[in-house]
Structure 1
Amino acid sequence: MDDTKRKIIIFDDDEDILSICNYILEEKGWDVYTFTDCNDIIERVSGIQPEVILMDNWIPDAGGIIATQTLKKSTELKSIPVIYFSANSDIQLLASHAGAETYLAKPFDLDELERVIATVA
């Protein structure tokens, strides 16, 4: 078993979603980091260097679009794939506007979560 676990960050202010995703992804061998706001996003992501980021549209304080755009402007972090997730019906548009690699509509089932992560990881 490889000691270097794959790292994933989830930005969402919904504690239920965080705990479910955390549980499922840890079972799948991920090191999961969760944040309920996107303050100091560059410092946080730089410190962890995840393979994948899950970004909620309504994350406090700046919001998912600005948070994702901030990451994509960073030379060091722009290659980390961002999966945009939201219950918003315009999610595809929002994700593309944010510069995310892909998106996941809420509510999602866990197979879908794993499938979308697998496409970018």
Structure 2
Amino acid sequence: MSTQAHQILVADDDGEIRKLLARYMREQGFQVLLASSCAEVGERIATHQVDLIVLDVMLPDGSGLDLCRDLRAARSNIPIILLTALQEDVDRIIGLEIGADDYLGKPFNPRELAARIRAVLRRGVNSRPEPDGTGGYRFEGFVVDPSVRTVTDANGGIVPLTGAEFDLLIIFLDRPGRVLSREQLLDLTRRGDGGVLDRSIDVLVSRLRRKLSPDGAAQIFKAIRNGGYQLAARVSALDK
């Protein structure tokens, strides 16, 4: 995959970290924008095409967690990798729950960050071919178009999913009725890149449940004891 066209926004209040990451990411073939505050992140997004945000949790004018939450509330699907000095699992899980695509604790190796950026971008637009013989899927009134990575509801409204959420949904739609273990789902979603929290799958399934059945009426995903998860909805393929 060529990274030349990908523009990364690095937001961190530490000037030395910004310079280090900018130099390293450019050496890796990425285009790099820099920001030192939440306000500057907003300015960069408004004036540039941003393919991914590397976002520090602690910024001088606000929390990166709050900014991530606000971007998702505004239906922005720009992939986000959170950076933080906090090491508690609960903080990492909160980051995933509010819509981050990945999470990396400080101190970190820039090479690992570059690998995670590439892994998240592989889950971006056009990262998957359309399913063989179909133009998408229909289930529970939703229509899924893998070619443009959209999910629309019965009223034609767009359901805002992050890249990680969409990839997980496609995995289930490719295997309707099958019970998939957390280990299988981790391997399928992250393609063996490693460093993934075991509970990230639980968080992603929970987020999909809320977005696809906010009132809890439809039991789309079933948790199987000692097994994993199963897509219980009836799935049909759409013609190309």
Give the TM-score category using the shorter length.
0.7 to 0.9
Identical aligned residues as a percent: 28
Pairwise mapping of residues 69-80 of structure 1 onto structure 2 (< 5 A)? 69-75=69-75, 78-80=76-78
Could you say what secondary structure the match of 2:100 adopts?
Answer: coil
Q: How many residues align?
A: 117
Aligned to 1:37: 37
8 Å CA contact retained: 1:54, 1:83: yes
8 Å CA contact retained: 1:55, 1:82: yes
8 Å CA contact retained: 2:9, 2:33: yes
2-structure distance, mates of 1:41, 1:57: 13
1-structure distance, mates of 2:56, 2:8: 14
TM-score by structure 1 length? 0.86
Runs of 4+ aligned residues of structure 1 deviating over 4 Å after TM superposition are: none
User: Is the helix fraction higher in 1 or 2?
Assistant: 1
Give per-residue Cα distances to partners, 1:41-70, cap 9 Å, x unaligned.
Answer: 444313212111011010121210111111
Q: Considering Cα pairs closer than 8 Å and 6+ residues apart, tell me whether 1 or 2 has the greater RCO.
A: 1
Could you say what secondary structure the match of 2:81 adopts?
Answer: strand
Q: Say yes or no: does 1:120 pair with 2:120.
A: yes
Give the unaligned 5+ runs of structure 2: 122-240
1-structure distance, mates of 2:28, 2:104: 18
Could you say what secondary structure the match of 1:79 adopts?
Answer: coil
**Greater Cα offset, 14-23 or 35-44:** 35-44
Q: Say yes or no: does 1:17 pair with 2:17.
A: yes
Aligned to 1:81: 79
Return the letter of the residue paired with 1:109.
N
Pairwise mapping of residues 32-111 of structure 1 onto structure 2 (< 5 A)? 32-39=32-39, 41-75=41-75, 78-90=76-88, 91-111=91-111
Give the unaligned 5+ runs of structure 1: none
Could you say what secondary structure the match of 2:95 adopts?
Answer: helix
Could you say what secondary structure the match of 1:21 adopts?
Answer: helix
8 Å CA contact retained: 2:35, 2:41: no
CA RMSD of aligned residues (A): 1.8
